[in-house]
């Protein structure tokens, strides 16, 4: 069963956005960019590094640089489960 985004955020995951700048395989002096987003755990970023390893194994364009940003979208102190209902006449 797949974990929902809210469940991931409550477990400490945040949204990681990475911009990959890479050399085009057929034109090595031409740079191109690719943007990747995934929920990941800071500070180790296992999913980001797993994707970088995949890139090195499977993609022909060698990486020039990787820039990334990580933002926690929600924390345990910011979310609370409220049970109740208010009826307005």
26 Rama sector, left if φ>0, alpha if ψ -120 to 50, beta otherwise: alpha
Reduced to 3 states, what is the DSSP secondary structure of residue 18?
A: strand
Q: Is the dihedral of CA 18, 23, 29, 32 positive or negative?
A: negative
Domain hosting 14: range is 5-71
Q: How many domains does the chain have?
A: 1
84 is a domain residue? no
43 Rama sector, left if φ>0, alpha if ψ -120 to 50, beta otherwise: alpha
Q: What is the pTM of this model?
A: 0.76
pLDDT attached to residue 2: 79
30 is a domain residue? yes
48 is a domain residue? yes
Residue 57, pLDDT above cutoff 70? yes
Beta bridge partners of 33: 21
81 is a domain residue? no
13 is a domain residue? yes
Residue 75, pLDDT above cutoff 90? no
Give the pLDDT band of residue 85 (cuts 50, 70, 90): low
């Amino acid at each position: 069963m797949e974990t929902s985004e809210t469940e991931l955020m409550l477990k400490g995951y945040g949204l990681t956005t990475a911009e990959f700048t890479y050399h085009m395989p057929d034109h090595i002096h031409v740079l191109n960019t690719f943007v990747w987003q995934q929920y990941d755990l800071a500070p180790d970023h296992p999913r980001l590094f797993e994707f970088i390893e995949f890139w090195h194994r499977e993609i022909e364009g060698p990486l020039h640089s990787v820039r990334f940003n990580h933002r926690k979208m929600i924390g345990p102190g910011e979310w609370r489960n409220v049970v109740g209902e208010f009826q307005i006449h």
